[in-house]
Structure 1
Amino acid sequence: MKFTQFLKTKGAIGAIFMGIFYAVAMLGIFLPGYSAIPGNIDKLPIAIVNDDAGEYGAKIADQLQKKLPFKKIETDVTNKKALKDLEHNDLALVVHIPKTFSKNVQKGETPSSIDFTINEAGATTVSSSINSVITAINNQFSTQFSQQTAQGILMNVNVPKEQAAELAKKIETSYVGNVVKINEMPDGMNNNMLPMFLTMAGYTGAMIGAMQLVGVFKGSRGKASKTRLFCYVQLTALLVAVISSLAGTGIAYLINKPSGSLFFSVLGHQILNYMVCFNFTAILIFLVGEVGMIFNLPILLIQTLANGATLSRDMMYLPYKWMSYISPMYYSVQGYFADLYGSISASPYIWSMILVGAVAMLINIIIVAFIHKPIPVEESSTEADKLKNSTEPTI
């Protein structure tokens, strides 16, 4: 066989096609998706809550609206409501100007503090980007208030020497930007990425499992009815879900050591994640066979950006945002954030996963019922022997 003949074989052509296809798919999905960082940071919603009745509070609130690089800024919300929205990741930052801000600035008795509150139980890019913004703003305000305090003090030229140190301290501490973090995560990138890694482990295993089990389903046609084979596929997937989830959860606890009280919650979440992802990825395989894997992998790549572990939904470009609404990975990741690190219930995300899984299973049932042609069921040798024996004449 010549090399040119080898290149014309089905396997060689498939390898060439897949190499080009996935290079284009991966770079074409990841590069545009990640270009949203930091370009789309201005799309993050924040709230500025001014409880100060004095002039300084209003001025600071106005300056913050002009200086902060965000387009969605809520100002007509209470601090309690804003913090609640922050816990649900409906806001990325809450800036709170306290009641005594102007009073403290004017008297110079104590440092004037503004609270910048962020939620760490969410997309990693959001918390890191917000921290950078807060640092820049605090540096500007610290310089501004130090200058204002210095001007007020220097107007009094007859300052006794014994008060010089105290006045210098007032200038230095005239403004304090207090960064408050809720739902803090343990140190280590492995903790930040645990929700995504747990979800992807289940999704990838389910996608490969769907290809293999649907292949068995098609190869077993004629040996049992479509309904029975479909039930076998689902029962086998459930068995794999339990075994693989036990292994995955065990490794997560061995390395990350989350709270022991969450073990069964994480295990149940992982089993559900596998089953939902199994039916989600099985749709294309039931529909077009193994060729469906060509499309399943780009869909997986899109979801690695659309799952909300790195980017919040507000920062995503439209194709990724649309995918996040139908993606089982998005709801799984957000559910893990809430369960492992958050202070809110994971139930809304769990129910959303169940809905996605139920719709996916219904689509698979429709495909099997109406697209897969019925094949007569062959009688097993045992059943044939029984039938033969029952029809033989007795002597």
Structure 2
Amino acid sequence: MNAKQKLEAQVKQQSKAIRNRVSDTYQDVDHSVGTNLVRVHPVKTGMNHALAPFIANIAVYLGTLIGALLLYGTYAKFVPIVGRFKSFAFLETAAILLSIIGSLFTSWSITGFMGLGGSQFANLWLNHGLEIFGSLNFNLILVLLLGQIGTALNIFLTMIQVVSGAGMIPLVTLNSFFKGAHYISPMFYSIQADFNIMFGGSQAGMYLGQLVLLALGILIVNIVIVTFRKHQPILDFHQLS
């Protein structure tokens, strides 16, 4: 055996010895740390539970998308008769009544399907009432500005809210566009409040407060639009047929 072969043999022996020492030293490391997960607000197994806040809120929001269009049609027809401010007051009164009644049936359905309690029902009623009122006015912004054609743009905004609402994907994982969009999304605050109401949490009040502020801000925007837009365009579908 020449010198080169002897050197290679020594290197192999030393490498083997080092690996053995390392193995002996760290053989218990993989068992040295244990984990004990404590779920503070557990969600029942099943996508029907995990996605319940998202599904409930998107269903309500889609209803307000159509509701805003119908309310606008009535508003525009009454403007020449009673004036735009009185007609807008009637519109908002109808929106409030729809919010109270619509959220009552929505909350009753959620409570029954998920086996929730009376206090949760009351909070869900409040949350979805605010969501319906805020969403109706949110969808009215473009409709008051552009007429019925604004509904097409509202559909695009709905798709943005589906993502920025953070019902399926956590907010921290979204890109900067959707993180910015969630601030003006009624669906986001309602979804997050639903998570806290349905599964437990201490932030339901915070989200409900933010939803109230957002709804008031949207209402003020609509009042400004009504003040400066004196003519309300409305399509005559008989002429299109």
TM range (shorter): 0.7 to 0.9
1:275 maps to which residue? 133
Of 125, 140, 151, 2:24 maps to 151
2:59 maps to which residue? 201
Kept in 1, the 8 Å contact 2:99–2:133? The answer is yes
1:234 aligns with 2:234: no
Q: What displacement does 1:179 show?
A: 2.9
2:8 maps to which residue? none
1:246 maps to which residue? 104
Q: Secondary structure at the match of 1:182?
A: coil
Q: Percent identity?
A: 25
1:260 maps to which residue? 118
Give, as a single letter, the amino acid of the residue that structure 1 aligns with 2:180: W
Higher relative contact order (CA 8 A, sep 6+): 2
Distance 1:209 1:194 in 2: 23
Of 210, 221, 227, 1:363 maps to 221
Q: Secondary structure at the match of 2:89?
A: helix
Q: Which runs of 5+ in 2 are unaligned?
A: 1-19, 233-241
Q: How does 1:1-395 map to 2 (within 5 A)?
A: 151=24, 173-373=31-231
Kept in 1, the 8 Å contact 2:111–2:120? The answer is no
Q: What displacement does 1:149 show?
A: 10
1:76 maps to which residue? none
Distance 1:353 1:153 in 2: 54
Relative to the length of structure 1, the TM-score reads: 0.50
Distance 1:149 1:186 in 2: 44
Q: What displacement does 1:263 show?
A: 0.9
Higher strand share: 1
Relative to the length of structure 2, the TM-score reads: 0.81
Q: What is the RMSD computed on CA atoms of the aligned residues?
A: 2.4
Higher helix share: 2
Q: Which runs of 5+ in 1 are unaligned?
A: 1-146, 155-169, 375-395
Distance 2:217 2:29 in 1: 63
Kept in 2, the 8 Å contact 1:335–1:349? The answer is yes
Kept in 2, the 8 Å contact 1:149–1:171? The answer is no
Kept in 1, the 8 Å contact 2:64–2:132? The answer is yes
Give, as a single letter, the amino acid of the residue that structure 1 aligns with 2:128: Q
Count residues with an aligned counterpart: 213
**CA gap 1:153/1:283 in 2 versus in 1, 3 angstroms:** closer
Larger Rg: 1 or 2? 1
